[in-house]
């Protein structure tokens, strides 16, 4: 086994105490023997993550060094930590991991494109965490890695997961934090330290954060999106941008299309490629009837987080929110029939922004001009859905820059300009699709039916919606189609779905003002700013 760089030299990864790159069956066997979880009747390994059942963005910090400081969009989710405090957290994690009887390591790849990928080593104290990361990223020697893939740690990333070790009050004072949980990341050292949270999604998103910093340096646009392709037309690639719970995984798992990936991708000069080798799906209210591909992908080798199961039959209760609404399932990409492996595709023809509008006033579907695409991408309007972050218990209207603010280290304009350049160069159509509420806000209206949402997506991808007649919404200025196959015409204009038109106007103008308040934070060209709401 190769040794880690000097700052981590005291971490004991000797072969006698480290289980390296174990196969899924062996990891499951060890996790069961260690009491880390149980097997569900469908074969999925079920683990609980304690009080942290979602990401903890307020507990994440980025090491501020001269090498990267000017490249970071500080503020918001990018909170600085000094190198000396980073070292304090690092030493706590190393000491804790050294105190364990044994450890697990995964050594693999982030990025399906061999020309644009990172090597990563993930060190965990729990077997199921190693299974999780193996499920989601690209193991050495796998078909997803491609032929002759060479892994090397030099220049690669390291994650140290000491999730079972919480900070003491004294340590919190030393670090200047007020929580027993801390996640620190260094873009200079290429190192992530996780302390105090067993929520495995922190590992996944830390590697996404790394790609979002590294990829623009080589001209690759990193994206918080899913991607799929028509099974009969490899040039018909589609991207689905959106925050957790807005439909990226659900809408990209289409029996008529091949899945490239469900969450994180890059767009290079050659096309799109998946950063991952697996999927991380929300599974609240999951059923075979509504999402058959995802339902059937949960089997032996998959991981279920915070899901209640019957103590006798071990049948999962996908409707249960006993631990959280943010119940999750991971599974390798090849558990989805006809998935594209290695996960690469052509340049997309359609780019779809998914917004879960909790106000219930956004149009269900709109075709965006170039300026509107930049405006709505920069603002990234959606709703945080229950359970995806600590403290979120019901949908909350939210502006998340580039539809992924917690994962974007660079200033928003870097990513927005890359989007505009890629869309223009490859003549892609951009759409805004509301997967949120209709007929009223959250609590009064209802969420758009998946049947209608899939009808909108089908019309986009088969090209029929591109040629529809559009008229501008008077408040948002977004083009509304006159008809969409399989969708009642009254649904297409959100005002028509409200019992009280005046109430709709008031709520729509309130959201329009929120857009205007939010866009003041950004340096936009005037044509882009003018493409925002009119009301």
**Catalytic site positions:** 55, 205, 224, 244, 248-249, 263, 328
Sign of the C-alpha dihedral computed for residues 379, 385, 388 and 389 taken in this order: positive
Token digits of residue 132: 């999780």
Distance CA 343, CA 279 (A): 12
Q: Sign (positive/negative) of CA torsion 32, 38, 40, 44?
A: negative
Cβ atoms within 10 Å of 485's Cβ, excluding its own: 11
* Sequence-distant (≥ 6) Cβ neighbours of residue 44 within 8 angstroms: 298, 299, 300, 302, 303, 304, 316, 329
Q: Give CA angle at 205 (199, 211), nearest 5°.
A: 160
How far is the C-alpha of 163 from the C-alpha of 165, rounded, in Å? 6
Which residue in this structure is represented by tokens 């390296």?
Answer: 20
How far is the C-alpha of 519 from the C-alpha of 515, rounded, in Å?
6
Residues 116 and 271 sit within 8 Å (Cβ to Cβ): no
The CA angle 259-149-275, to the nearest 5 degrees, is 35
- Calculate the CA 362 to chain-centre distance: 23
> Per the structure block, which two tokens stand in for 365?
């579907």
Residues near 59 by beta carbon (within 8 Å), at least 6 away in sequence: 177, 179, 181, 182, 183, 196, 197
The DSSP string of 345-397 is: E--EEEEEEEE--TTS-S-SEEEEPHHHHHHHHHH-EEEEPTTSBTT--S-EE
Three-state secondary structure call for residue 210: helix
497: left (phi over 0), alpha (psi -120 to 50) or beta: alpha
């Amino acid at each position: 086994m190769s040794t880690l760089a000097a700052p981590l030299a005291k971490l004991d990864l000797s072969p006698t105490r480290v289980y390296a790159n174990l196969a899924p069956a062996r990891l499951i066997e060890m996790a069961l023997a260690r009491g880390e979880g149980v097997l569900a009747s469908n074969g999925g390994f079920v683990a609980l993550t304690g009080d942290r059942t979602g990401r903890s963005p307020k507990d994440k910090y980025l090491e501020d060094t001269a090498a990267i400081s000017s490249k970071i969009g500080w503020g918001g989710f990018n909170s600085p930590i000094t190198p000396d405090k980073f070292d304090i957290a690092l030493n706590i994690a190393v000491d804790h991991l050294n105190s364990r009887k044994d450890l697990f390591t995964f050594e693999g790849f982030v990025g399906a494109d061999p020309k644009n990928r990172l090597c990563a080593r993930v060190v965990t104290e729990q077997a199921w965490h190693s299974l999780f990361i193996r499920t989601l990223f690209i193991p050495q020697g796998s078909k997803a890695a491609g032929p002759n893939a060479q892994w090397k740690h030099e220049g690669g990333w390291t994650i140290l997961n000491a999730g079972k070790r919480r900070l003491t009050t004294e340590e919190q004072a030393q670090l200047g934090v007020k929580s027993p949980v801390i996640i620190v990341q260094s873009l200079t050292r290429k190192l992530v330290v996780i302390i105090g949270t067993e929520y495995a999604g922190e590992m996944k998103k830390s590697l996404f954060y790394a790609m979002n910093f590294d990829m623009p340096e080589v001209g690759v646009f990193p994206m918080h999106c899913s991607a799929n392709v028509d099974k009969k037309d490899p040039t018909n690639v589609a991207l689905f941008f959106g925050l957790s719970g807005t439909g990226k995984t659900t809408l990209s798992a289409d029996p008529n299309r091949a899945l490239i990936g469900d969450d994180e991708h890059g767009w290079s000069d050659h096309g799109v490629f998946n950063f991952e080798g697996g999927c991380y799906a929300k599974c609240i209210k999951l059923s075979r009837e509504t999402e058959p591909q995802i339902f059937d992908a949960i089997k032996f080798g998959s991981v279920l987080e915070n899901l209640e199961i019957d103590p006798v039959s071990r049948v999962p209760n996908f409707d249960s929110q006993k631990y959280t609404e943010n119940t999750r399932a991971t599974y390798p990409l090849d558990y989805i029939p006809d998935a594209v492996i290695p996960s690469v595709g052509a340049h997309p023809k359609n780019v779809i922004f998914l917004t879960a509008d909790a106000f219930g006033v956004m149009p269900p579907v709109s075709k965006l001009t170039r300026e509107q695409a930049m405006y709505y991408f920069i603002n990234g309007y959606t709703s945080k859905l229950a359970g995806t972050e600590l403290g979120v218990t019901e949908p909350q209207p939210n502006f998340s820059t580039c539809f992924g603010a917690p994962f974007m280290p660079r200033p928003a304009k870097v990513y927005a300009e890359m989007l505009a350049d890629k869309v223009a160069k490859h003549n892609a159509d951009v759409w805004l699709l509301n997967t949120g509420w209709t007929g009223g806000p959250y609590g009064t209206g209802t969420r758009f039916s998946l049947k209608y949402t899939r009808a909108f997506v089908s019309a986009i991808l088969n090209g029929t919606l591109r040629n529809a007649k559009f008229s501008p919404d008077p408040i948002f200025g977004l083009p509304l189609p006159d008809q969409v196959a399989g969708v009642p015409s009254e649904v297409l204009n959100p005002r028509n779905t409200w019992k009280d038109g005046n109430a709709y106007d008031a709520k729509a103008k309130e959201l329009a003002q929120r857009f205007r308040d939010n866009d003041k934070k950004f340096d936009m060209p005037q044509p882009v700013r003018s493409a925002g709401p009119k009301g």
